[in-house]
């Protein structure tokens, strides 16, 4: 399958949206674009499995290489391995759900959908690029749409949040840029090509300098402590689809970059700094969980819990075992689906009750059974109920972590495990107060979900349950790729 399709299709969708006149036309063209993209992602998934089943052991499949700025040793090099395929599937799920959920956006509909499509374009491009320059290009493409989405369609302190997000993410990418230049100039030959760089021996001294730059730079995107502060503000101020894209896709760009670029290319650096990563991510996990306990606003609850959940991703990477890394990728997929669904539900509730304060709600199950059921499912997934995706991912991270026998890793693992209890507390409390209890008279006339909201929720729930009860298909996809990374890190 030709990977450029994944980039060209959003581009085409964007052009079509630009040409459309009425809001309805814009919505439908965005939906059609997202659906075709969804189908493409599924085709990619099955084509990938078929190739692998037929014995194609190449590290990257469907590779493509076009000339682009040859004098800087840049090429438009695309290709996917299991991890990328998993992330593309995630993106496709979240994008289609995001488009469906924003059906009610009336203010500047065209611009809104255009920015959503551009954001998804950045994510797709990022996950399939095998050239660090293009990777960086796509990483930065996604920043400005986020800024505008929050600033124009957001709520609350939207300007502040938008500015904070844009500047912190740009700061992160500035660090990434310096790290990339370090790699470019210090390999045995100048190149931005990921596969070529992975075969080179990069001097240990350079790794020690560039690894933290790249890891922290990408880490900003994925809420690495103490650079997580944009997450609560950004997520809670963004419009529903914006939050879904931010938490579901955009934070995963960072995790993917940490794994694919920082850890894979600089194994010595990764080993050098692994303990610091573990400490920081353990702090993020616990701090995020405890901070969530104090929140009264549903969006803030999910935003802080995202900090905690994304901490697991970095913890998995820092543990440097095959199972943990596979678990980290799974956690990315699982958290992406889950948090997107959570934000979607919060958006649906907010649209009806016009409040996000947990204390002002209650008994919503009586008037909107569908929405509250979805809320239960997503809450249970978040606290790690077996049978849903959260459990699978966290479980494999813990199992991978436990493979490190020394006390330091054990203590970090136990500390991270404890957060699950806290998660259970805040999730159950929030859901309970929202759905159960006596209903406020104001809410008696509210309606349940409409077709578009139901469809969005069902698509995401399907993903969550598919991972939860049959994790092997995702595991089979990720493990060989994680193996390849570990192989390099272990230096064998």
Partner 1 sequence: MLNDFLLLMKSELVLAFILFLLLIIKVGKEVTNERLLSLIQILLLGNFIYGFFFIESGSLFGGMYITNGLIAFQKSIISLGIYLISLLFSDWLKKSEHLPEFFILLLSAVLGMFFLISSGNLLMFYLSLELATIPVAAMANFDLDKKISSEASMKMILSSALSSGVLLFGISLIYGATGTIGFDQIPTLLDGSSLQILAFVFLFTAFAFKLSIVPFHLWTADVYEGSPMAVTSFLSVISKGAIAFILLTTLYKVFAPMHILWYNMVMLLSLITMVVGNLFALRQQNIKRFLAFSSIAQVGFILLGLSSHSIEGTSSVVYFVLIYVFSNLAAFGVAGAISQSYGKELIEDYKGLYQTNPFISWVLALSLFSLAGIPPTAGFFGKLFLITAGASKGNYFFIIVAALNMIISLYYYLRIVRAVFMDKNDQPIAKINLDPSTKLGMIICTAGIILIGLLSWVYDYITTLSI
The contact set with partner 1 (CB under 8 A) reads 67-72, 133, 137-138, 140-141, 143-144, 147-148, 151-152, 158-159, 162-163, 166-167, 170-171, 174-175, 177-178, 181-182, 184-185, 209
Q: Of 48 and 136, which CB lies nearer to partner 1 in the complex structure?
A: 136
Do the Cβ atoms of 326 and 471 come closer than 8 Å?
no
Q: Of 81 and 131, which CB lies nearer to partner 1 in the complex structure?
A: 131
Structure tokens at 366: 């009586």
Minimum separation from the CB atom of position 147 to partner 1 (A):
7
Q: Of 31 and 213, which CB lies nearer to partner 1 in the complex structure?
A: 213
Do the Cβ atoms of 388 and 377 come closer than 8 Å?
yes
Minimum separation from the CB atom of position 430 to partner 1 (A):
31
**Residue found under tokens 């997202």:** 34
User: Rounded to the nearest 10 degrees, what angle do helices 230-237 and 298-319 cross at?
Assistant: 140
Minimum separation from the CB atom of position 208 to partner 1 (A):
13
Helix extents (H) in 436-471: 451-469
Q: Of 213 and 460, which CB lies nearer to partner 1 in the complex structure?
A: 213
Structure tokens at 66: 């076009």
Question: Residue 306, CB half-sphere, CA atoms under 13 Å: how many?
Answer: 39
Report angle CA 61, 65, 67 to the nearest 5 degrees.
170
Contacts of 10 (CB under 8 A, 6+ apart): 33, 37, 117, 118, 120, 121, 124
Residue 238's nearest CA partner among 98, 358, 92 is 98
Do the Cβ atoms of 394 and 316 come closer than 8 Å?
no
Minimum separation from the CB atom of position 365 to partner 1 (A):
37
Minimum separation from the CB atom of position 176 to partner 1 (A):
9
Minimum separation from the CB atom of position 347 to partner 1 (A):
20
Structure tokens at 133: 């320059």
Minimum separation from the CB atom of position 134 to partner 1 (A):
10
Q: Of 145 and 336, which CB lies nearer to partner 1 in the complex structure?
A: 145
Q: Of 96 and 149, which CB lies nearer to partner 1 in the complex structure?
A: 149
Structure tokens at 208: 């020690």
Report angle CA 287, 290, 296 to the nearest 5 degrees.
125
Helix extents (H) in 54-107: 82-101
Minimum separation from the CB atom of position 300 to partner 1 (A):
22
Q: Of 180 and 285, which CB lies nearer to partner 1 in the complex structure?
A: 180
Minimum separation from the CB atom of position 74 to partner 1 (A):
8
d(CA 299, CA 355): 10
Q: Of 133 and 426, which CB lies nearer to partner 1 in the complex structure?
A: 133
Q: Of 31 and 169, which CB lies nearer to partner 1 in the complex structure?
A: 169
Minimum separation from the CB atom of position 246 to partner 1 (A):
17
Minimum separation from the CB atom of position 133 to partner 1 (A):
8
Helix extents (H) in 57-131: 82-101, 109-128
Q: How far is CA 206 from CA 186, 216, 269, in A?
A: 7, 16, 9
Minimum separation from the CB atom of position 27 to partner 1 (A):
19
Q: How far is CA 257 from CA 44, 124, 179, in A?
A: 21, 13, 12
Do the Cβ atoms of 325 and 486 come closer than 8 Å?
yes
Q: Of 31 and 176, which CB lies nearer to partner 1 in the complex structure?
A: 176
Q: Which residues of 236-253 are buried (b: 16+ CB within 10 A; e: fewer)?
A: bbbbbbbbbbbbbbbbbb
- Kindly give the pairing relationship between strand 61-67 and strand 75-80: antiparallel
Q: Of 215 and 426, which CB lies nearer to partner 1 in the complex structure?
A: 215
Q: Of 220 and 282, which CB lies nearer to partner 1 in the complex structure?
A: 220
Structure tokens at 135: 């990777």
Do the Cβ atoms of 202 and 187 come closer than 8 Å?
yes
Minimum separation from the CB atom of position 56 to partner 1 (A):
31
**Residue found under tokens 């075969």:** 199
Q: Of 179 and 255, which CB lies nearer to partner 1 in the complex structure?
A: 179
User: Of all helices (H) and strands (E), which one includes residue 328?
Assistant: helix 322-353
């Amino acid at each position: 399958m030709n990977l450029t399709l994944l980039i060209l299709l959003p581009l085409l969708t964007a052009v079509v949206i630009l040409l459309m006149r009425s809001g309805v036309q814009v919505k439908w063209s965005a939906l059609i674009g997202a659906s075709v993209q969804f189908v493409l992602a599924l085709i990619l998934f099955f084509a990938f499995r078929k190739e692998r089943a037929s014995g194609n052991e190449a590290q990257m499949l469907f590779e493509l290489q076009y000339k682009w700025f040859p004098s800087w040793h840049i090429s438009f090099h695309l290709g996917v391995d299991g991890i990328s395929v998993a992330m593309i599937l995630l993106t496709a799920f979240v994008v289609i759900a995001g488009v469906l959920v924003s059906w009610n956006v009336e203010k500047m509909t065209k611009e809104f959908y255009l920015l959503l499509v551009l954001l998804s374009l950045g994510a797709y491009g990022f996950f399939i690029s095998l050239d660090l320059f293009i990777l960086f290009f796509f990483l930065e493409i996604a920043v400005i749409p986020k800024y505008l989405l929050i600033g124009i369609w957001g709520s609350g302190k939207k300007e502040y949040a938008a500015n904070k997000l844009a500047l912190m993410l740009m700061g992160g990418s500035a660090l990434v840029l310096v790290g990339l230049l370090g790699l470019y100039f210090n390999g045995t030959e100048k190149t931005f090509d990921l596969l070529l760089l992975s075969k080179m021996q990069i001097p240990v001294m350079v790794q020690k300098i560039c690894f933290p730059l790249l890891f922290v730079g990408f880490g900003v995107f994925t809420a690495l402590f103490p650079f997580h502060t944009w997450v609560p503000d950004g997520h809670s101020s963004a419009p529903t689809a914006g939050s879904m894209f931010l938490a579901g896709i955009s934070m995963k760009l960072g995790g993917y970059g940490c794994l694919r670029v920082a850890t894979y290319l600089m194994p010595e650096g990764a080993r050098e700094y692994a303990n610091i990563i573990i400490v920081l991510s353990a702090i993020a996990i616990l701090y995020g969980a405890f901070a969530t306990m104090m929140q009264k606003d549903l969006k803030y609850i999910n935003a802080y819990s995202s900090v905690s959940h994304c901490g697991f991703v970095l913890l998995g990477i820092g543990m440097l075992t095959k199972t943990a890394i596979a678990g980290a990728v799974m956690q990315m997929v699982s958290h992406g689906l889950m948090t997107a669904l959570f934000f979607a539900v919060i958006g649906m509730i907010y649209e009806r009750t016009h409040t996000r304060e947990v204390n002002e709600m209650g008994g919503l199950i009586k008037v909107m059974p569908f929405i509250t059921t979805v809320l239960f499912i997503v809450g249970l997934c978040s606290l790690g109920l077996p049978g849903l995706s959260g459990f699978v991912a966290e479980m494999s991270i813990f199992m991978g972590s436990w493979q490190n026998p020394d006390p330091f890793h054990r203590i970090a693992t136990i500390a991270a495990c404890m957060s699950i209890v806290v998660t259970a507390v805040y999730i159950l409390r929030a859901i309970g107060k929202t759905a159960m209890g006596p209903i406020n008279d104001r809410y008696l006339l509210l309606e349940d979900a409409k077709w578009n909201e139901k469809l969005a929720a069902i698509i995401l729930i399907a993903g969550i349950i598919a991972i939860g009860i049959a994790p092997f298909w995702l595991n089979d996809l990720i493990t060989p790729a994680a193996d390849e990374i570990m192989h390099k890190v272990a230096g064998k």
